[in-house]
Structure 1
Amino acid sequence: MADQSLGQPMLNLNNVSGLPRLDDLNEHTDWLRQLDITVHDFPYIDSILKQAFAEWRKQISDMPELGEVDVFLAGSCGEKLLIDSLNPRQLLERSWPSGMEEVIKESLCERKAIAVQKADGVYAAVPVHTRIHGELFAMIGCLMRESCTSEALLFAKMTARLYQTCFYRCFEGMFITDLVRIQQQAKREEQRRSKLFQMVQKLHDKIDVDSVLTEVFERVSNMYPNARLELLMSQDHVSFDPRVKSFQLLGQGDELLVRAFMEGRMQTRNIIDSTGDGESSLEIAVPLSGKQGVYGVFHLQIEREEIDDVDLQLISMLADTAGTAFENAKLYEQSNLLINELRLINELTKRLNQSLRLKEVFQFATEELLSIFQAEYCCISQVNKHTETFEIMSCNVPGLSKEHFSMTYGFSGLVYSTQEPIILSDFQAYGKVTSRFMEETNSRSLITAPLFVRGEVIGVIMLAHRKPRFFSYDNYKLLQVLSSHIGLAIANASLHAEVRRMANRDMLTGLYARHYVDDAIKEFQKRDANGSLIIVDIDQFKQVNDTFGHQTGDKILKQVCSIVKNSIRKTDIAARWGGEELAVYLPGASAENSYEIAETIRLRVAMDTDPPVTVSCGIAEWGKDDEKLSVESLFYVADMALYKAKNNGRNQTQIGSREDAPSL
C-alpha cells in the first residue's frame, strides 16, 4: 500500500480497483493477500502492532507454560511498544532491561535474528518483515531465563512468525471493516439519493402550496422520526398546519433563524445538554427559498448522533427542492388567483355598470366587497365638497350610516392626505390613529383604498375584521384594483345623476323642466286621491323686456321663481312651463289650499320684484272621481283659469272648473 497512511480513518481503495463484492469474500480472498503495507505506512501502524500483539497473546494462551519468558514488541526503528510475560506466576517488570534494548538495536543493524547469552538469561531478537516486499516493520524480542541461545532464538522466530500472521489478520480485518463501512455508507447515500429523487418527483407533481409543505413534513419525519420540525413562514401565507407558524424577525433568541432568512443559507448550532455532559442535539435553520426570494425557514432540532455532514447536505438539497416546488405551486396559485381576479373584476364592473343610481352602486359595492374579502365590516365614504367632510355613503355598521367626518379624521383622512392605501395587521397594537369605525366594531385588521376620479380622491373604502392579521398582501393589492373600478362606477353614476338633474332642471331659473312635472303628476295621479295645479304668468312680460332689456327680464324671472320656491311646501313641485309661465303642482291639495298659496305668491311678487311686476294665476283641481283624469286636462283647466284672470284685468287668481276640461 505505497503512499497510504494507516493512521487515516479510512483506506484509499484507488489502488485496488476491480475488487469483488463483499458478499463473495468467503470464496474470493486471494486479492487480500496482494495487499501490504510500505515504509510510508510505518509511522501510523502502532495501533495495529499493539492490536496484533494482543491477538498473538490470545493465540498462545492455551499453550503449556514455557517457563520464565518475557516477550517484547518494538517498532520498525526499535521504539519500545509492549512487553508481556508468559509466566503468570511471575511479577512482570514494565521497564525494558538494557540487554533487550541492546539486542534489538543489534538485530536492527544487522537485519537478522540474533540471540545473546547474558547474566540474567538469553536475549533474542527477530525482525518481522512485510509479506510481499520483505521490509522490516516490527521487532519481536524475548528473554528466556532458563534456556540456551538456540532454544531462545527458535522461540523468538516462531513468535515472530505467529505475530506476523496475527498482524496481517488484524490488517485484513481492518481493511475489510473499512470496505464494509464504505459499502454501508454508499448504501446509505444511495438510499438518501433515492429518497431525495422520490421526494423531488412527488414535490414537482404538487400544484398546491399546502400539499408541498405536507410532503416535506412527511419526508423529514420518515428520515428522522425523532426530529422536531417546524416551518416559519412570512405573513402572507396562511396555513392550518400547526407546524407552520408566522415568522417574527423581532423574536428573542432567534438569531439562527434570522441569519438563515437574511443570508439565504443553512445555519446550524450545537445545543449543549443542561447536565453539562456534552452536545446533546443539533439545531438547524435552513431557508425555504426560490428564485424570487426567501419564503420562510425550516427549523429542525435532532439528536447529534442521528445526523452527520451527509445528512446536512441532504437536508439542504431537500429544502432547495421544496423551495422550488413551493415557488412553482405559489406561482400556479397566483396565476389562478389572477385569472379569478380578472374574472371577478369583469363581473363586478359589468354589474356596477348595470345601475346608474348612485345609492345602488354604493350598496352593491359594499355587499360585493364583504363577500370577496370575507370581511366583517365595510364602510365607503365620499368627499362632500360643499361641507368639506367625508360622508358615509354605505356601511354595514348602523351607527355610522350617513355620518359626516372631518377630512383629516381617522384612516379616511390619512388616505385622503397621502393618497395611498393602507394595510394594518393589528389596530390595537398600532395606536397612532383614532377611528370610530375600528373602535365601534372592535376590529383589529384593516385594509383601505382611495377612490380616484381623474387623479383626485373622491372617497375611501375601508374593510375590517376582528381577527388580527386577517387580510393578506394579495387582498391589499386586489382592493386597490377593485377600488379603481368602483371609483369609475361611482363617477359614472354621479355624472349620470348630474346629467339627469340638468335634464330635469331649467338652466336659467333652477326650477324643474316641463317634462319632469308632467311625469311627476302622472305618478301622483296613480297613487293620490287628489291634487292641484297652479299656473303663474308674469303680466306684460314682453313689455318689460322691451323696456328694460332681456337681461333685466331674466333677472325679474329669477326673482319671481325664487318667490315661488319660497312660498310652496317641500313636497310641492315648481317648474318652468315655458317663457314667463311657471307651473306649481301641489300633491293632495284642494283648490282652496292652492288659492291661498297662489295669492301669497301674487302679493309677494308685486312687493318684492325690482322693477316691480305682477302675476296672474290659474288653478285646476283633480280628484279620483273625475271622468276626465289626465295631465293634459289638468293643465287645460288651469290654463283656462289663467286666461280668465288675464281677461279680467290681470294681477289676480282664478280657479278653473272641472267642467271646462276637454272631452277625451
Structure 2
Amino acid sequence: MTTKRTPSAAHLQQALREKTREVDVLHRISESISNQLDLEAVLKHIVEVVVEVTKADACLLYLLSDRQDELILRASKNPHPKLIGRITIGLGEGITGWVAQERTRVVIPSNASDDPRFKFFHNLPEDRHQAFVSVPIMAKKEVVGVINVQHKRPKRYRPDEIALLSTIANQVGGAIENARLYDQMKRKALQVETLSQVSETVASNRLIEDVLQLLVTMTAQMMSSKICSIMLLDEATGELRIEATQSLSEQYRRKPNLKVGQSISGRAVKDRRPI
C-alpha cells in the first residue's frame, strides 16, 4: 500500500532540493575563487554558473572603474562577448547605473523596458529581455560593481533565487577584494625589488648615463607609466634637457629644452616642490 505524498512533504522536498542546489552553486564559485588568482577567469566562470542555475538568457557583470565614475562590462554569458571591457555605463545611468548608485537591487518580472529607470544602450539590446534582476556587488560596504540576470520571457523570480544572486554578488565582492590585495602585494614586491636595484646601480661604477637610463626604465615599470624621463638643469642657460627616457619616440627624445617655470616640469624646478 502506497502513501500519498502530502503537499507539505512535497514542499519540504522542493525546499531541500533548492537548498542543495544553492550550496552546490556557492561551493563551485568558492572553489573558482580559491583556485584562480586571475580575476577575469573568476568572473567568466561566475557568469557561466549563474546562467546555468537560473536558466537565464543572459548574465552581465560590471565592475566600477578605477576613477569610480562608471561601470565597465567585465564578464558576460551569451550576448556581447566581444564587447567586454568596451561597454561603460555611468553611475545613475539606466537600471544598472541606478543600482550601483543607490546600492540596492532591482527585480522586474516583466516589461523591463517600461521601467522609468530603463535606458536603451545601442550596444546592449536589453529591451529584448522581459525579466530583469540587477544586484549590487559590495566589498567592505562599498559598491564595486553590478551583476545582471535577464530573461527574454516574463519570469516571477522566487525569493530564494534573488537571495542566491545576492550571495553570489557578495562572493564576487570578496573575490575582487582578494584580487586587489594580491595586486597590492605584487606592486609592493616590485617596489622593494626596484629600490634594491636602484641602490645597487647608484653604488656601482657605471657611467652616469647608464645609471639614469636604468632608473627611468625601472621607475616606469614600477609605476606602469607610458613615459618616464629624467631632466637635468643646465645652470648656464637655465634650461631643462632630457637626459634619460624610456620612451622609444624619437620625436619625444628630440623635444626642445624647457625654460625653468615652463610647463609642469619647469614649474616643479622653479617652485622646488613636486607637482
| TM value normalised by structure 1 | 0.30
Q: 1:425 to 1:351 in 2, by over 3 A?
A: same
Query: Distance between the aligned counterparts of 2:76 and 2:127, measured in 1?
Result: 12
1:500 equivalent in structure 2: 186
Query: Distance between the aligned counterparts of 1:330 and 1:606, measured in 2?
Result: 81
Q: Give me the CA root mean square deviation.
A: 4.0
- Alpha-carbon displacement from aligned partner over 1:71-113 (angstroms, at most 9, x marks no partner): xxxxxxxxxxxxxxxxxxxxxxxxxxxxxxxxxxxxxxxxxxx
* 2:7 is aligned with 1:202: no
Whether contact under 8 Å (1:410, 1:433) holds in the other structure is yes
* 2:230 is aligned with 1:560: yes
Gaps of 5+ in 1: 1-197, 207-324, 516-534, 540-557, 570-595, 613-664
Query: Distance between the aligned counterparts of 2:253 and 2:245, measured in 1?
Result: 12
Matches within 5 A, 1:141-152: none
Q: Work out which of the two has the higher radius of gyration on C-alpha atoms and give 1 or 2.
A: 1
1:406 equivalent in structure 2: 90
Alignment equivalent of 1:448, drawn from 134, 139, 148: 134
1:600 equivalent in structure 2: 253
Query: Distance between the aligned counterparts of 2:76 and 2:88, measured in 1?
Result: 13
Alignment equivalent of 1:477, drawn from 144, 160, 163: 163
- Alpha-carbon displacement from aligned partner over 1:126-150 (angstroms, at most 9, x marks no partner): xxxxxxxxxxxxxxxxxxxxxxxxx
- The code of the aligned residue for 2:87 comes to E
Query: Distance between the aligned counterparts of 1:561 and 1:362, measured in 2?
Result: 43
* 2:35 is aligned with 1:351: no
Query: Distance between the aligned counterparts of 1:484 and 1:565, measured in 2?
Result: 44
Three-state SS of the structure 2 residue aligned to 1:468 is coil
Q: 1:386 to 1:336 in 2, by over 3 A?
A: same
2:72 equivalent in structure 1: 391
Q: 1:416 to 1:606 in 2, by over 3 A?
A: closer
2:211 equivalent in structure 1: 537
Q: How far is the alpha carbon of 1:387 from its aligned partner?
A: 5.6
Query: Distance between the aligned counterparts of 1:506 and 1:382, measured in 2?
Result: 30
Three-state SS of the structure 2 residue aligned to 1:480 is helix
Alignment equivalent of 1:460, drawn from 146, 151, 156: 146
Whether contact under 8 Å (2:112, 2:127) holds in the other structure is no
Q: 1:332 to 1:436 in 2, by over 3 A?
A: same
Whether contact under 8 Å (2:92, 2:99) holds in the other structure is no
Q: How far is the alpha carbon of 1:448 from its aligned partner?
A: 1.8
1:415 equivalent in structure 2: 99
Three-state SS of the structure 2 residue aligned to 1:560 is strand
- Alpha-carbon displacement from aligned partner over 1:169-191 (angstroms, at most 9, x marks no partner): xxxxxxxxxxxxxxxxxxxxxxx
Whether contact under 8 Å (1:388, 1:407) holds in the other structure is yes
Q: How far is the alpha carbon of 1:327 from its aligned partner?
A: 2.7
Query: Distance between the aligned counterparts of 1:466 and 1:497, measured in 2?
Result: 38
Q: How far is the alpha carbon of 1:377 from its aligned partner?
A: 0.9
| Percent identity of paired positions between Structure 1 and Structure 2 | 16
- Alpha-carbon displacement from aligned partner over 1:108-131 (angstroms, at most 9, x marks no partner): xxxxxxxxxxxxxxxxxxxxxxxx
* 2:169 is aligned with 1:489: no
Query: Distance between the aligned counterparts of 1:347 and 1:387, measured in 2?
Result: 30
Matches within 5 A, 1:168-247: 202-203=3-4, 206=5
Query: Distance between the aligned counterparts of 1:341 and 1:470, measured in 2?
Result: 18
1:426 equivalent in structure 2: 110
Alignment equivalent of 1:340, drawn from 21, 28, 36: 21
Aligned length: 227
Q: 1:600 to 1:417 in 2, by over 3 A?
A: closer
- Alpha-carbon displacement from aligned partner over 1:390-426 (angstroms, at most 9, x marks no partner): 1111224327532111101112222123322222110
Query: Distance between the aligned counterparts of 2:112 and 2:253, measured in 1?
Result: 61
2:202 equivalent in structure 1: none
Three-state SS of the structure 2 residue aligned to 1:537 is helix
Query: Distance between the aligned counterparts of 1:440 and 1:561, measured in 2?
Result: 52
- Alpha-carbon displacement from aligned partner over 1:548-596 (angstroms, at most 9, x marks no partner): xxxxxxxxxx861896557335xxxxxxxxxxxxxxxxxxxxxxxxxx7
Query: Distance between the aligned counterparts of 1:561 and 1:337, measured in 2?
Result: 66
Query: Distance between the aligned counterparts of 1:356 and 1:343, measured in 2?
Result: 21
- The code of the aligned residue for 1:537 comes to V
Matches within 5 A, 1:615-654: none
Gaps of 5+ in 2: 199-208, 214-227, 233-241, 271-275
